[in-house]
Structure 1
């Protein structure tokens, strides 16, 4: 039952019980009043006994003992009621004994509760006892003088002592209720019950009431008994207040108090002095037991405190030992070296990792100075750190050290002050070897500023260098170079060969530069050289002589490489990095347009060329789809008979009614990759044309078409040609692929394998522009070449340059000795024709016979020639 419910129900129960008794007293017939009250009182007393008896079973220890006393008191009261009702059955002495015994039990209950108040100090107890003693003494004197001795004869000694103890309990409970909230309900109920019973008993003895007044006093006593019995309902204590005390002590003490009260009532007189002496001795007896119990409590607490202190000290000592072991483990077995030294750097202690990293044993290191292993350049800085550590704040410093084996290392020393009693007495230095980390950082820094392939500065490092020169206002020359034919080398030999070539160029560049010149790679085959001078002609001549013109020997092959170079000057050609690079790029592309292996200095007019170039690049994207690309044919004739012996298929681009020369758009197509689609279109058109000629009346012995490097090394080329032969079943020997000498001259297995695959299809092969490149004639023997074409550059010089006549005659003689056919390109004059025929070359091609013409014009020309 909750406390709130008890506060509502218990008062109603007590008030109802009282008014029922009052009703019996007032309204019962006189003859039946005593019997009705006896029955009523017996019922309430029995109920109270049952309630207190059940409390005995619910509690243990001191609480059980208290409810045992209450139950004993209830039994005595029942015996008293029976004896009072049947006077003839019980002697008067027995009635007095039961009554006195009941008073004794009530007194023990009060005393026991008093002793349980552990918060009641002795000084407070003395004040309460003295006050109670004075009140009882004053009442005793008052009634004695007023009644002339009647008080002494009518008042029992037990009742007086009950009053004394009750007053003492009232004061004690009032104090306890003020400072202790737990158990207030139980204490109040017990207090009200005992005071009510004692007051009613004393009034009954003093006034000797009869009739209704006597019966009302008995009703009050019965209600008080009920209140005492149901007080346990308000007991909030879950365990004994003095759980360490033995109940046996209270039983002995209760017996002593009972014997004393009986003895004092029988041995001492009933005078005022005797009564006061008895009361004083009783209070002293109670006080003595309270002192004994409090001493026992203090002793128990002291023992508990000593035990707890001993446990705490033992635990603390164990914790200290454990922490010391933890510290030793942390210091001794830490993976990083740890040194302990004084403020002068003398080593006081070092762990195993520290002695191992220095190559000394611990005994050797102790007593040495940490400064001895630090490089001279870092000693002063570390000495300052040792001095500054006296402020108690950790500091970290990187120093260079030399170990026993002479190796140089870089240590990061985390210096932690060792503080004892508020003073810095030493220093812990935790060592972290950051040598590898610094090496890695330097590698990262190097990689961040250098090209991984060539070792030259990369784009970002060059940009920083150029922007630094611009910020300083220092004039300089920027040379932008792009390798000529590099894509063909990649396609012919593979990217690994291209990477090797770039590496060799990087080495040559580094060795060819002066101290005030910087070289870097932008990416691909683009290089930049920055020179802090204006001698660009000397710089270009030096780079071509040392870097670009000498051939490269790689994987058993001589590789010739050239470069187109664009030059800008700061601040003449731009004041920002962006403008300088853009203008250098324009100059470089202009050099490529001039025929490659050229050098161009930027001029504002190049911006117009750039716009035209941009338009060409955009136009190539849709040229085939728009039908702007067409096939032209240039006849090849026998100079002696003027008969057509073949033709060369050429590509023409007509855009917006204007023809764009192949020299302009073919390099752009090769650069942008459009040459792949254009080349396939040319091959397809050639197959289709030859098939149409064979199905018609045109018996064209040979049709030649140029095969670019990208097409030659296209992994799908052979499959594509096989498909075309299936679709257009022409005579393979009538198809002639012209290869550039640059491709053929590189004697690689890849070139040989592809040439053999083409020959296996029955296609004939010729070398275009023979003699214009740096080449080894060995490939003429190794490769199954069918035809050599004398380049236009040679033919045009025959009239003016005897050296070209000699070279041309040598080519013709060599071809005849090797069993190869010959075709001379660019024949325009009678002298050229006569000279070529005289040295043995009758197959010719040029404007002397016919210019390149559309298909319909070629057919008409062919028919007219045959007719």
Structure 2
């Protein structure tokens, strides 16, 4: 026996099913499928229990429904839906007319017809079908009364009362379906709105994951996802795919000095410029704080060169920001697929090698990746690992080159020069110091050098060489952490060495990077009596203001002027000018690179106070230096 849906959950499930349909056509097709299954069950039931009296009609209706499915499209959906519902309603009435009238189970198909009519949302279907059902109830009652229909059901209940009851039930049932449907539609609308909000939130989340909040540019994750498509397109059209990384210059300095708002506005304006470079073959991404990446399809390397020049020109045009006219500098590094790699990781890594190589040349330049860049980086990384091992196992030692008073030809001090004793082989500082500075290990190495120099100078004093001073070279990196004075004072106190016996050598370039921060630390140490020497004077900026403002007490004349001064009058004039200038400013001068007696004599004549060089001794291990010092005093 067929039964209508009997619970709210079934109705809700049906409504949700309809809401999930992609179109009206899909809804009607689903209803036809339901009725086809229904009539298949009716056919089987009729075959088993009624000797197949209505099987032909049931199969005919199934054929009709299949034919309507074939006719179904967007234009005919309402007509087909109406035909389906009317076919089922007429079938139910016909079966009831020939069998048990108002008591025939086929009339239970009416609620199904009403449900689907309401779900189709057409009152043009609902009202006629409802009226048809009312008339069919009273028509059947009349047919039974006039014996047009012979009912097999015996009952004392009035057939007209039965018709009225069934009409009332259908009316209430229909109203209930309407109420529930409206409620469900409201619920579904609410769920749809929530779904839309969830989809919007998901899209926003995806946007935040794949796009930069500040500039709106796609980020490195999006770049990684897009790269495969770009690679595929380049293969199809036979072009070269270039992966270009752009690093801005001094962006951290901009944020620190001019403020993050200024830095953010700078990035936004640069983004507007870069977006003008975009076309069907050019795509721009922000892949880091001060890093942008271009993916560019080009015909050949000449076109790639042209684009790199264009990107640099676009970046370096002056910007007007917050009453500032600011010039942006940059470097570019390019890797090319398929030659340098076929995935994001490889191309990004190799573009980074190239951009760091560009930084070693000049501002506003670019480099293409070459294998040697990676090999150099690998060697540097290996050396960093070895330097860490050297620090842990105390593989460094200090050599000392005498500082000689030219008037007396006596040792009055020494410059401490670090050496790396690597498995018995002495590694000179110019080999590992740049790597140590770049990796930050120079801070730990420099701390060790200061403490060791103070300890050994204190031993010289204990042995009776009380006038001996020691000089230690400093790296700009040691000033950046701001705790250099603490290291110096701790070493002096630990070894009971007077601060005036320690001289710290700095280069002119140090002041260019962060003059205020450096000056503050130098003043802190100078107030305690530590001496400072300007090393390699004349080879850098040679700004006399630095000498006055940074407590320099000693000026060291670079060996490049001293070595050939006797054969080169121009260099001799430079040396003479530096000596006179330093004397006028009350600075002690030390000439480096003295290799013969004639040069030493000439410097003495010009008024130079001290000298260093192979004429007296090369840098010596501590024991040998002490031995030479004792020989001198013997």
TM-score, normalisation: structure 2: 0.55
What's 1:604 paired with?
371
Q: Is the 8 A contact 1:477 1:531 kept in 2?
A: yes
Mapping of residues 577-656 of structure 1, within 5 Å: 577-587=344-354, 601-639=368-406, 641-656=408-423
What's 1:727 paired with?
494
Give 1:773 deviation, angstroms.
5.3
Unaligned runs of 5+ in 2: 1-73, 82-118, 128-177
Residues 1:698 and 2:465 aligned together? yes
Change (3 A) 1:622 1:596: farther
Residues 1:469 and 2:230 aligned together? yes
Q: Which of 221, 234, 255 is residue 460 of structure 1 equivalent to?
A: 221
Q: Is the 8 A contact 1:512 1:542 kept in 2?
A: no
Mapping of residues 554-565 of structure 1, within 5 Å: none
Quick one: distance in 1 between partners of 2:120 and 2:572?
Answer: 93
List per-residue Cα deviations over 1:650-691 (Å, max 9, x = no partner): 222122333334333223323333222212211211121121
Residues 1:670 and 2:409 aligned together? no
Change (3 A) 1:570 1:681: same
What's 2:277 paired with?
515
Q: Which of 729, 732, 737 is residue 504 of structure 2 equivalent to?
A: 737
Quick one: distance in 2 between partners of 1:839 and 1:542?
Answer: 55
Mapping of residues 26-41 of structure 1, within 5 Å: none
Q: Is the 8 A contact 1:560 1:774 kept in 2?
A: no
Quick one: distance in 2 between partners of 1:856 and 1:438?
Answer: 77
Residues 1:788 and 2:540 aligned together? no
List per-residue Cα deviations over 1:680-709 (Å, max 9, x = no partner): 211211121121111113345431212334
Mapping of residues 780-859 of structure 1, within 5 Å: 780-791=547-558, 812-826=579-593, 841-847=608-614, 849-859=616-626
Moved more, 602-611 or 615-624: 602-611
Quick one: distance in 2 between partners of 1:707 and 1:551?
Answer: 37
Change (3 A) 1:481 1:773: farther
Quick one: distance in 1 between partners of 2:494 and 2:431?
Answer: 33
Quick one: distance in 2 between partners of 1:481 and 1:828?
Answer: 48
Mapping of residues 78-157 of structure 1, within 5 Å: none
Q: Is the 8 A contact 1:632 1:652 kept in 2?
A: yes
Quick one: distance in 2 between partners of 1:795 and 1:840?
Answer: 14
Q: Is the 8 A contact 2:353 2:369 kept in 1?
A: yes
Change (3 A) 1:603 1:419: same
Q: Is the 8 A contact 1:745 1:779 kept in 2?
A: no
List per-residue Cα deviations over 1:404-429 (Å, max 9, x = no partner): xxxxxxxxxxxx99764756999999
Give 1:861 deviation, angstroms.
3.3
Quick one: distance in 1 between partners of 2:482 and 2:628?
Answer: 38
Quick one: distance in 1 between partners of 2:382 and 2:476?
Answer: 25
Q: Is the 8 A contact 2:332 2:365 kept in 1?
A: yes
Change (3 A) 1:720 1:565: same
Change (3 A) 1:747 1:625: closer
2:418 counterpart SS class:
strand
Q: Is the 8 A contact 2:214 2:268 kept in 1?
A: no
What's 2:520 paired with?
753
Quick one: distance in 2 between partners of 1:711 and 1:847?
Answer: 29
Quick one: distance in 1 between partners of 2:472 and 2:497?
Answer: 15
2:472 counterpart SS class:
strand
What's 1:151 paired with?
none
Quick one: distance in 2 between partners of 1:804 and 1:554?
Answer: 48
Q: Is the 8 A contact 2:255 2:262 kept in 1?
A: no
2:371 counterpart SS class:
coil
Change (3 A) 1:455 1:432: closer
2:391 counterpart SS class:
coil
Mapping of residues 412-427 of structure 1, within 5 Å: 420=123, 422=125
Quick one: distance in 1 between partners of 2:396 and 2:464?
Answer: 26
Unaligned runs of 5+ in 1: 1-384, 393-415
Quick one: distance in 2 between partners of 1:684 and 1:729?
Answer: 11
Give 1:831 deviation, angstroms.
8.9
Quick one: distance in 2 between partners of 1:822 and 1:560?
Answer: 40
Quick one: distance in 2 between partners of 1:563 and 1:796?
Answer: 39
Quick one: distance in 2 between partners of 1:559 and 1:839?
Answer: 47
Q: Is the 8 A contact 1:747 1:779 kept in 2?
A: no
Mapping of residues 328-477 of structure 1, within 5 Å: 420=123, 422=125, 447-449=208-210, 458-464=219-225, 466-473=227-234, 474-477=239-242
Change (3 A) 1:771 1:745: farther
1:756 counterpart SS class:
helix
Give 1:603 deviation, angstroms.
3.3
Mapping of residues 13-92 of structure 1, within 5 Å: none
1:623 counterpart SS class:
helix
Moved more, 467-476 or 841-850: 841-850
Give 1:754 deviation, angstroms.
1.9
Change (3 A) 1:432 1:809: farther
Q: Is the 8 A contact 1:455 1:506 kept in 2?
A: no
Residues 1:768 and 2:529 aligned together? no
What value does the CA root-mean-square deviation take over the aligned residues? 5.6
Q: Is the 8 A contact 1:745 1:775 kept in 2?
A: no
Quick one: distance in 2 between partners of 1:812 and 1:780?
Answer: 14
Give 1:508 deviation, angstroms.
8.7
Q: Is the 8 A contact 1:478 1:530 kept in 2?
A: yes
Give 1:451 deviation, angstroms.
5.4
Give 1:792 deviation, angstroms.
5.3
List per-residue Cα deviations over 1:315-346 (Å, max 9, x = no partner): xxxxxxxxxxxxxxxxxxxxxxxxxxxxxxxx
Quick one: distance in 1 between partners of 2:326 and 2:539?
Answer: 15
1:581 counterpart SS class:
helix
Quick one: distance in 1 between partners of 2:264 and 2:563?
Answer: 39
Change (3 A) 1:422 1:757: farther
What's 1:658 paired with?
425
